[in-house]
Amino acid sequence: MDVAVAAVAGGVHVSVLDEHGRATEVHRLTWSDLPPFVIGLGAQHPRWVWADTGTVYPRLLDAGLTVARCQDLRQCHAILSRSTYVTSPLTSVADGRWGPHEQAQDDGAAPALLDLTDTDGTPTLAEVVDEHRAQHEAVRGSAQGARLRLLLAAESAGALAGAELTHVGLPFDAAEHDRFLTSLLGPRPLPGVRPRTMEDLADRVRAELGAPTLNPDSAPDLLRALHSAGITVDTTRQWELTQVDHPAIGPLLEYKKLARLHGANGWSWLSTWVAQGRFRPGYIPSGVVTGRWAARGGGALQLPKQIRGAVVADPGCVLVVADAAQLEPRVLAAMSRDEAMARASRRRDLYQGLVDDGVVDTRAHAKVAMLGALYGATSGESGRLMPRLQRSYPAATAYVEAAARAGEAGEVVTTWLGRSSPAPPESWQQAQSWSALPEADPDERRRARTQARDWGRFTRNFVVQGTAAEWALCWLADLRRELAALGDVGGRPARLVYFLHDEVIVEAPVELAGAVTDAVRSSARRAGQLLFGSFPVEFALDVCVVARYSDAG
DNA sequence: ATCCATAGCGCC
DNA sequence: AGGGCGCTATGGAT
């Protein structure tokens, strides 16, 4: 059963859809009336159809309602409107409503005085129902309907999971983090004041460089001071400074490490993003063009390794930390149908599999060669290893090469399930056409060529990173479902608390640790089957049951 | 006062 | 050397 929802001032409009997607009766409800209404529907798992999970679902979660399935029309519209798998375009009546948020707002045109519809861009119930119909038709008209349906379901489940992750939060011990900060930075300073350890290090740097007024936070200032001291570096980057032998470099590098910690994850971050023992960052499911998640606020996807000791499960609970090992090469093996590479994937450590198959001589070489193939390295060690990779894995390497050539030619590429890359920007197109003219000068030609190769590296990586994101979404979606079926122990359920591209954390009562571990593994297997059927690729997981995130791995 | 680009570095 | 991001501080521009 599908149930369409539109947010309106003070509540929601709700309608049950019949089997043709037509709205039957319409109800106007307050947010708090929604949960009883859902229960009254009698359907165990209605699929909620709404414009935007991010604006609706947090309200439902606050009201105590968890949604099992939904269709996020805005996210799905973004996929369908661009996918090369869609042959008959979307025919929504209010097409402009379904673009990105910014475009949903009126851009400049003064709203008519009596235009009372919704200047905030929130679609009405009728528009929701119509867009739902249009999307259904677009999928039905596609030769890749099964893949698109899976992608839309996974995308929508990801949107639910993102809202739930923010709602639940990652268990985070603020006192532990405070102790950690104090041990490295000294006592918590007043806002705007440098912590003592940093100030001491800054003084040492100033003394060693003979620059008493140096502000080490200023890159230009620092570069000038380094040059005055006879240190000829082009930038103040860590890797360049480590090459230099000078007494100022040690304290400077130490300063930069601490400045990073203090600025990004210091006390101010702690008091902004951690409350009641939970870290609640903002997630933006599929916020990246490739379909990976983005984050806004809190830095959800950049939780530094060094502070993961403060991520501690609640009493009586454990963290089940699982990450997919070498996900992208495995995905490439499957989507390119490369049997030899799939054979390597059946090793727990795919890179070691390359060594055992005699492709390269060391695991380090295997890794650098593989990453080079995925990212488009052409030179260096990675470039030198490429011929060996091509010989051993012709299908996989040809697949990414084809994606790169398509990008260089300005064409769109598409992931396994149907997410298509954006077209290159207008300026890119223009540079390519101009450089093809006979009167183009060599400099112009060279620049255009460089740009073409840059875009080719983007599309090369897009197909793999994007398909890996699809696998991860399916994994997450299936795991979400499995965890819900596990029930709880004394009112404490197993809950997803973190997701990071190819890694999940489930917080669970210790009694459920084994069941959650099984669920995480079976979901990974199912994700592989959902995407790639019986093709014999394996998606190995590293799973740890720990009290602290830092103890995983 | 506010916006924007850049440098640098954290994550995958 | 290469792909994708977010965040902070800085400094110039509006």
What CATH number did the domain enclosing A345 receive? 1.10.150
- Tell me: do A159 and A12 sit in the same domain: yes
Distance (Å, whole) CA A361 – CA A381: 13
What count of Cα atoms within 13 Å lies in the side-chain half-sphere of residue A229? 23
Residue A218 CB closer than 7 angstroms to strand C? yes
In this complex, the residue with its CA at the shortest distance from the C1' of nucleotide B6 is: A219
A266 plus A394 within the same structural domain: no
Q: Give the distance, in angstroms, between residue A228 CA and nucleotide C11 C1'.
A: 21
Give the residue from A465, A487, A519 where a domain finishes: A465
Could you tell me if A508 and A458 lie in one domain? no
Structural domain boundaries, residue A388: 328-465
- Alpha carbon dihedral A191, A192, A196, A197, in 10-degree steps, equals 110
Residue A303 lies in a domain: no
Does the nearest atom of strand B lie within 7 Å of A522's Cβ? no
Both A342 and A355 in one domain: the answer is yes
* A434 domain residue, yes or no: yes
Number of domains in chain A: 4
* C-alpha dihedral (A207, A213, A217, A219), degrees to nearest 10: -90
What is the pLDDT at residue A92?
81
Query: Does A320 reside within a domain?
Result: yes
For chain A, give the percent of residues with pLDDT over 90: 78
Three-state helix/strand/coil letters over A304-348? CHHHHHHCECCCCEEEEEEEECCHHHHHHHHHCCCHHHHHHHCCC
pLDDT band at A105 (very low <50, low <70, confident <90, very high): very low
Q: Tell me the two tokens of residue A168.
A: 């639940």
Place of tokens 């009586």: A316
Say which CATH number the domain at A535 has: 3.30.70.370
Strand C lies under 7 A from the Cβ of residue A223? no
Q: What nucleotides of chain C have any atom within 7 angstroms of a protein Cβ?
A: 1-11
**What average pLDDT is seen over chain A?**
91
Residue A459 falls inside a structural domain: yes
Are the beta carbons of A439 and A101 closer than 8 angstroms? Answer: no
Q: Is pLDDT above 50 for A515?
A: yes
* For residues A107-116, average pLDDT: 36
Between strands A47-50 and A69-72, the pairing is parallel
CB distance A263 to A246 below 8 Å: no
A553 CB inside 7 Å of strand B: no
Residue A447 placed within a domain = yes
- Does residue A11 share a domain with residue A153? yes
Classify residue A276: in a domain, yes or no: no
Half-sphere exposure of A454 (CA within 13 A, CB side): 10
Q: Tell whether A475 and A529 lie within a shared domain.
A: yes
CA-CA distance, A545 to A541, in Å (whole number)?
13
**pLDDT value of position A380:** 83
CB of A224 within 7 Å of some strand B atom:
no
Is position A111 within any domain? no
Are both A44 and A146 inside the same structural domain?
yes
Same domain, A23 and A95: yes
Q: Are A132 and A47 in the same domain?
A: yes
The answer as to whether A230 is a domain residue is: yes
Q: Is A34 within 8 Å of A46 (Cβ atoms)?
A: no
Residue with CA nearest C1' of nucleotide C11: A218
Domain identity same for A192 and A243 = yes
**Subset of residues 54-93 in chain A with CB less than 7 angstroms from any atom in strand B:** none
**pLDDT band for position A42 (cuts 50, 70, 90):** confident
Q: What does the pLDDT look like over A443-488, one tens digit per residue? A: 889 889 999 999 999 999 999 999 999 999 999 999 999 999 999 9
A13, A158: one domain: yes
